[in-house]
Every structure is written in C-alpha cells, then in structure tokens.
C-alpha cells in the first residue's frame, strides 16, 4: 500500500472541495483532493448558475474570478409573473447587492485550473474512498488511485462529497441529528443553445405549475418546469417541453419564447436535508454533504461556499496559532446560516409552486403573498435581503473579520 501524508484530506472535487483546497493553499496549508468521477465529468456537470455577491466577492478575493468577471452576467433584479401580470423585483435598488449568472461547471473548471497552476494535488477517478479513525487525532483516508491502494494520513478530513457521498455515512448515527423534507414535485431542467428570451431571471407562477427562465450566457438558456416527482424524461420530448414552457410563461395570450436545440435535460427532486452538528472528531462536512435545499432559491452552491469560507478560516487559525476555538465553532456558525437558507428556500418553494393537494383557499393565500411582495417595499426588501444573501452576512458578520479569503500577513 502506498502511504501519503497531507494536512487536510478533502473528499470530493465539487465546488466545496476545490474551493477549500484553493483557500487553504493561499494560507500555505497542504491538501489532497480525492474525486470519484473523471475530470471531464465534473467539468461538464450542469447544475447551479446563480452566484450571490458574497460568493463572487469570495472568489474574487481568492484570485478566482478573472473569467467570471469577463463572462458572468450581473443581475440587479428579477421578473415575477403571476395572475397574468408581470412585475419586477429590483433587488439591487433595495439592498445594494447584485447576483451573477455563471455556470457551476465553469466555476469548477476555473477552480481545477487554479489548483493545477498552483501544483495542487487533485486526483480524479479515485475508487473506494473510505475515511478511517475520524474520531482520533490521526485520521486517514483509504482509497484506490489509478489501481493502487493508497492510504493518506492527515490532520483533518473535509467531507465535501455531496449528498450521496461517503463521509457523512462514517459518522455514527447517534452522533448527529438529521432533518429531511421531501416536496411532492420535481424540476425538469433543460440547457438550450438559444439566446435567453429575458434579460433577468423570470419566475412564472402558473396554474399548471411553476416555470423558471434562467440563463448561463448570452447564447445559452437554462429553463425549468415543475413536474411530478420521478417524472420519466422519456415522456418529455422537445416539442412538449417547449409547448409547456410557452404556456407557463405566456402573458396576455402572447407566447414569445426563443427556442433552440436542447443540450441536456434532467429531473431534479425537491428535497431539504440538514444534519447537526456538521463535524465529528476530525471530520468536517461542507456543502451538500451536510445539507441540501430545493433549488428554488438558488442557495445550495452559495451555502457551500459560505461553509468553506468558515472552515478555511478556522483551519488557518488552528495551524497559525494552535487555537481550536474556530474549529469547535464551525458547526454553530455554519448552521445558523444554513437554517436561514433552508427557511428562505422553503418560503420561495411554497410561494412559487402549485402543491398537488392544495385547495382553492391555499391558492388564494399564495396570490395574496405574491401581491404583497410586489406592492410593499418593506416586504420586497426583506425578501431581497435573503435572495441576494445579504441577510446571511449579518449572521456570520461577527466571525467575518477572521474569515477573509486573503492570505494572512506573515
Ligand atoms: C438542477 C440544480 C440546480 C441548482 N441551482 C442552483 C443555483 O442556481 N444556485 C445555487 O447556489 N445552488 C444550486 N444548486 C445546488 C448546487 O448545485 C449544489 O449545492 C452544489 O453542487 C454543492 O457543491 P458541493 O461541492 O458541496 O457538492 P457537489 O457539487 O455534489 O460535489 C461533490 C463531489 O464529491 C464527489 N463524490 C461523491 N462521493 C464521493 C466519494 N465517495 N469519493 C470521492 N468523491 C465523491 C462527487 O462526484 C462530486 O464531484 C442546484 C442544484 C441542482 C441539482
């Protein structure tokens, strides 16, 4: 068996694992990233696209935003359609913060290139990853790299391996409390090679179900339809997808929607999951490994980046000063932000979707909430602060000084 040694063994080369590795390297902390999929696969995986300003600022401070600053689409508001009328929520006017549309796979490509350029160790197509002895001060990760059995000794293990990863499973059941909620619908998402029909995100609340028009670039549109859970993709040929999108976005009988070749399609279940605490011994979970939210409020990737920011800062203080207090407080800081994200995701999900069992009374209540949002500046501001991520900075603000992505002055 080949034996390696690092300071932080990171499982998973999604946004969380790669960003953590990069932030640690900026502070001179060594890590090895282990990813079960191929590089090509993780670079092509289509998922999130809405980055909050706090996430963009973190990437910028860490020197990761050159391409994002050139290609990302900065937004200052979104459109909301319901009851046959269109309204705009100008979140930048209300909060001073913007959002940025930039595909998660592009962010992952940028991160991999940055790790490569810095000589970072990222191993793809790694099999049999198994964290060991996480409750001790000498945790290890066993795995198979290019057919060789490898054991990596580390000071800490970061579980950044997503919802279906292996790290969370290594924590004894009695050591954590888990929370789960499954929604009775799913999202059918498509990526299409067609210029977006809208400049800003367009959320459409329709009696047939919710639809979202998003975008990844001036030439690529991303669109979603609320569908039944476990909806077979085979039931959705291109013409049916476009027809349903046209219907749900239609305004005053007009069905204007740019259509083009569909590059990829998938059905995503709508689920919330959380665990407390997010750490066990020397194992720290970050991002989707510890919590997931339905994509309605686009919080998943942003919460993942927020976790990583806290974890990188806590590890930095541990290595620089030998202080364990920030590591011990990791869960507390992240969970407050995470529950805020859970709550807002649940609010947006119930505001936008048609629930299969809802009665006419529930429909009327939703319409009243939507009307309030577009007529009350106070309601719109409170909503916008959550939407752009500003509300989260208040929760993590106290710890903020220690959390800068900039390398510490030595
Ligand atoms: C359709 C959709 C739309 C979304 N839209 C948004 C949005 O607009 N904004 C937003 O903020 N969020 C959004 N999200 C959520 C966002 O994509 C996730 O929150 C984000 O991917 C979390 O990053 P992560 O690195 O924590 O986990 P992941 O991206 O899941 O990465 C985990 C990595 O670990 C690897 N891995 C798993 N198991 C192992 C193992 N045993 N060994 C080694 N490696 C392993 C996986 O292959 C993967 O590469 C969306 C999600 C979906 C599905």
Confidence of residue 256 (pLDDT cuts 50, 70, 90): confident
Cβ atoms of residues 293 and 342 within 8 Å? yes
pLDDT at 361 over 50: yes
CA–centroid distance, 61 to ligand 1, in Å, is: 22
Percent of the chain with pLDDT over 90: 92
pLDDT at 57 over 90: yes
pLDDT in tens, 139-168: 999 999 999 999 999 999 999 999 999 999
What confidence score (pLDDT) does residue 201 get?
97
pTM assigned to the model: 0.95
Cα–Cα nearest to 142, from 155, 127, 156, 125: 127
pLDDT in tens, 303-315: 999 999 999 999 9
| Best probe residue, ligand 1, of 45, 159, 300, 310 (max atoms within 8 Å of C-beta) | 300
**Residues within a 6 A CB radius of ligand 1:** 11-17, 34-37, 42, 47-50, 104, 126, 129, 160-162, 165-166, 189, 268, 287-288, 295, 298-302, 304
| Best probe residue, ligand 1, of 9, 10, 12 (max atoms within 8 Å of C-beta) | 12
CA–centroid distance, 38 to ligand 1, in Å, is: 15
Cα–Cα nearest to 325, from 313, 307, 339: 313
Which atom in ligand 1 lies closest to the alpha carbon of residue 163?
Answer: 30
Handedness of CA 17, 320, 390, 367 (dihedral sign): positive
Q: What is the CA radius of gyration of the chain?
A: 22
| Best probe residue, ligand 1, of 9, 10, 14 (max atoms within 8 Å of C-beta) | 14
Cα–Cα nearest to 182, from 288, 275, 294, 345: 294
The two tokens of residue 299 are 């919080």
What confidence score (pLDDT) does residue 406 get?
44
Which atom in ligand 1 lies closest to the alpha carbon of residue 266?
Answer: 1
CA–centroid distance, 288 to ligand 1, in Å, is: 6
What confidence score (pLDDT) does residue 255 get?
67
CA–centroid distance, 255 to ligand 1, in Å, is: 34
pLDDT in tens, 166-203: 999 999 999 999 999 999 999 999 999 999 999 999 99
Confidence of residue 275 (pLDDT cuts 50, 70, 90): very high
Which atom in ligand 1 lies closest to the alpha carbon of residue 300?
Answer: 19
Which runs of consecutive H residues, i.e. helices, occur in 132-263? 238-249
Nearest CA residue ID for atom 20, ligand 1 = 301
What confidence score (pLDDT) does residue 401 get?
45
Q: How far apart are CA 266 and CA 259, in angstroms?
A: 18
Q: Which residues are catalytic?
A: 75, 203, 295, 299, 387
CA–centroid distance, 375 to ligand 1, in Å, is: 36
pLDDT at 399 over 70: no
Helix axes 330-352, 377-387, angle to 10 degrees: 130
Which atom in ligand 1 lies closest to the alpha carbon of residue 288?
Answer: 26
């Amino acid at each position: 068996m080949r034996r390696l040694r690092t300071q932080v063994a990171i499982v998973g080369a999604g946004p969380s694992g790669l960003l953590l590795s990069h932030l640690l390297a900026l502070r001179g902390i060594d890590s090895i990233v282990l990813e079960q999929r191929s590089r090509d696969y993780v670079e092509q995986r289509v998922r999130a696209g809405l980055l909050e300003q706090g996430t963009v600022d973190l990437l910028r401070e860490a020197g990761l935003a050159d391409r994002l600053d050139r290609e990302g689409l900065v937004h200052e508001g979104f459109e909301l359609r319901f009851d046959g009328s269109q309204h705009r929520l100008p979140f930048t006017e209300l909060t001073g913060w913007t959002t940025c549309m930039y595909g998660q796979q592009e962010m992952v490509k940028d991160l991999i290139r940055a790790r490569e350029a810095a000589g970072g160790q990222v191993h793809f197509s790694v099999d049999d990853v198994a964290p060991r002895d996480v409750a001790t001060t000498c945790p290890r990760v066993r795995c198979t790299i290019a057919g060789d059995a490898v054991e990596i000794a580390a000071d800490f293990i970061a579980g950044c391996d997503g919802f279906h990863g292996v790290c969370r499973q290594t924590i004894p059941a009695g050591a954590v409390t888990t929370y789960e909620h499954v929604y009775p619908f799913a999202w059918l998402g498509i990526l299409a090679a067609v210029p977006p029909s809208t400049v800003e995100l367009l959320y459409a609340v329709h009696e047939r179900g919710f639809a979202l028009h998003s975008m990844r670039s001036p030439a690529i549109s991303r669109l979603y339809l609320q569908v039944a859970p476990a909806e077979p993709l085979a039931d959705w040929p291109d013409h049916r997808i476009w027809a349903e999108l046209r219907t749900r976005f239609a305004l005053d009988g007009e069905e204007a929607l740019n259509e083009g070749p569909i590059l990829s399609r998938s059905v995503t279940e709508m689920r919330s999951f959380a665990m407390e605490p997010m750490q066990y011994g020397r194992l720290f979970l970050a991002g989707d490994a510890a919590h997931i939210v339905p994509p309605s409020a686009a919080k998943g990737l942003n919460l993942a980046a927020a976790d990583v920011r806290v974890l990188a800062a806590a590890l930095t203080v541990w290595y620089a000063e030998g202080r364990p207090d920030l590591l011990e407080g990791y869960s507390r800081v992240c969970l407050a932000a995470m529950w805020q994200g859970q709550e807002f995701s649940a609010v947006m999900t119930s505001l936008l979707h048609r629930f299969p069992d809802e009665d006419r009374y529930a429909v009327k209540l939703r319409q009243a909430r939507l009307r309030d949002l577009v007529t009350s500046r106070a309601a719109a501001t409170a909503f916008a602060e959550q939407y752009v991520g500003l509300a989260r900075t208040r929760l993590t603000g106290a710890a903020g000084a220690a959390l800068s992505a900039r390398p510490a002055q030595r």
